[in-house]
Amino acid sequence: MKKLRLVGIAVPAILVTSFTVTPLSAAGSGVGNSPPGTQPESAYAQSYSANHVKNVFATTQTSCYRPEDPYTANAGPNGGYSGATACPGAVPGEDTGAFAPYATQLGSNPGFATGPSNLAKNHSESDVRVDPTNPSHLIGSVKWFASAEGYNHVLGFYESFDGGTTWPIQGHIPGYEGWTDNTDPVGAFDGFGNYYELILPYQFYYNANGSHNFQTNPNKEPNPSQPAEVISIAVRPHGATTAKQWFTSHLNAAGVTGPDFVAPYAPKGHEPDKQWITIDTNPQSPFYNTIYAMWVVFDGVSSSKPFVSIAQANADGTHSDWSAPQILPTISSTAGDSYLLPHVAPDGTVYTSVTNFPGGHGRCCITVSTDRSTDGGKNWTGLAVAIENIPIPSFVGGYANTTFTDGIDNTFAVGTTLVNGHYPLYIAFHEKLTTFANVLLTASYDGGMSWTTPIQVNDNASAVDEFQPNLAVAASGTVSVNFYDRRLACPAFGTTEAKNAGLALDLANPNFPGTPPYGATNYCVNTSIQFYTPGLGALGHNIRLSQHTWDPQLNSPYRFCVCNAAAGFIGDYFGNTTGGSTDYTTSVSTFDDGSNHGHFQQQVVATVAIP
Asked whether residue 107 is assigned to any structural domain, the reply reads: yes
Nearest to 214 by CA among 545, 500, 561, 513: 561
Q: Is pLDDT at 334 greater than 80 in this prediction? A: no
Q: What is the pLDDT of residue 24?
A: 35
Q: What is the pLDDT of residue 576?
A: 98
Q: Is pLDDT at 4 greater than 60 in this prediction? A: no
Task: Compute the average pLDDT of residues 437-464.
Answer: 97
Say what percent of the chain tops pLDDT 90. Answer: 87
Rounded CA-CA distance 450/171 in Å is 44
Q: CA distances (Å), 558 to each of 91, 468, 564, 578, in order?
A: 27, 19, 7, 32
Beta bridge partners of 547: none
Q: DSSP string spanning 261-296?
A: EEEEE-STT-EEEEEEEEE---TTSTTTTEEEEEEE
Asked whether residue 10 is assigned to any structural domain, the reply reads: no
Q: Is pLDDT at 132 greater than 60 in this prediction? A: yes
Q: Is residue 462 packed enough to be buried (19+ CB in 10 Å), middle (13-18) or exposed (0-12)?
A: middle
Average model confidence (pLDDT) for the chain? Answer: 92
Other CB atoms within 10 A of residue 388 CB: 13
The CATH code of the domain that includes 489 is: 2.120.10.10
Nearest to 204 by CA among 219, 184, 218, 221: 221
Q: Is pLDDT at 25 greater than 50 in this prediction? A: no
Residue 17 pLDDT grade (very low, low, confident, very high; cuts 50, 70, 90)? very low
Structural domain harbouring 406: 20-609
Asked whether residue 161 is assigned to any structural domain, the reply reads: yes
Residue range 49-72, pLDDT digits in tens: 999 999 999 999 999 999 999 999
Residue 570 pLDDT grade (very low, low, confident, very high; cuts 50, 70, 90)? very high
Q: What is the pLDDT of residue 23?
A: 35
Q: Is pLDDT at 87 greater than 60 in this prediction? A: yes
- Judged by average pLDDT, the poorest of 170-184, 330-344, 418-432 is 330-344
Asked whether residue 287 is assigned to any structural domain, the reply reads: yes
Asked whether residue 516 is assigned to any structural domain, the reply reads: yes
Rounded CA-CA distance 587/601 in Å is 10
Residue 359 pLDDT grade (very low, low, confident, very high; cuts 50, 70, 90)? low
Residue range 493-542, pLDDT digits in tens: 999 999 999 999 999 899 999 999 999 999 999 999 999 999 999 999 99
Beta bridge partners of 412: 427
Q: Is pLDDT at 363 greater than 80 in this prediction? A: no
Q: What is the pLDDT of residue 298?
A: 87
Residue range 457-505, pLDDT digits in tens: 999 999 999 999 999 999 999 999 999 999 999 999 999 999 999 999 9
Asked whether residue 132 is assigned to any structural domain, the reply reads: yes
Q: Do residues 276 and 295 touch, judged by C-beta distance below 8 A?
A: yes
Q: What is the pLDDT of residue 335?
A: 64
Total domains in the chain come to 1
Rounded CA-CA distance 115/69 in Å is 9
SS3 98: coil
Q: What is the pLDDT of residue 333?
A: 65
Residue 357 pLDDT grade (very low, low, confident, very high; cuts 50, 70, 90)? confident
The model's pTM is 0.94
The backbone torsions φ and ψ at residue 159, rounded to the nearest 5 degrees and listed phi first, read: -130, 135
Residue range 377-429, pLDDT digits in tens: 999 999 999 999 999 999 999 999 999 999 999 999 999 999 999 999 999 99
Rounded CA-CA distance 312/181 in Å is 28
Task: Compute the average pLDDT of residues 276-282.
Answer: 98
Could you report how far apart the first and last alpha carbons of the chain are, in Å? 33
Q: Is residue 378 packed enough to be buried (19+ CB in 10 Å), middle (13-18) or exposed (0-12)?
A: exposed
Length of the chain: 611
Q: Do residues 370 and 350 touch, judged by C-beta distance below 8 A?
A: no
Q: Do residues 73 and 85 touch, judged by C-beta distance below 8 A?
A: no
Q: What is the pLDDT of residue 213?
A: 94
Asked whether residue 4 is assigned to any structural domain, the reply reads: no
Q: CA distances (Å), 522 to each of 89, 237, 265, 542, in order?
A: 41, 43, 41, 17
How would you label 401-436 residue by residue, b for 16+ Cβ within 10 Å and e otherwise? bbbbbbbbbbbbbbbbbbbbebbbbbbbbbbbeeeb
Nearest to 424 by CA among 441, 448, 404, 406: 448
**Could you tell me which residue, 29 or 555, shows the higher pLDDT?**
555
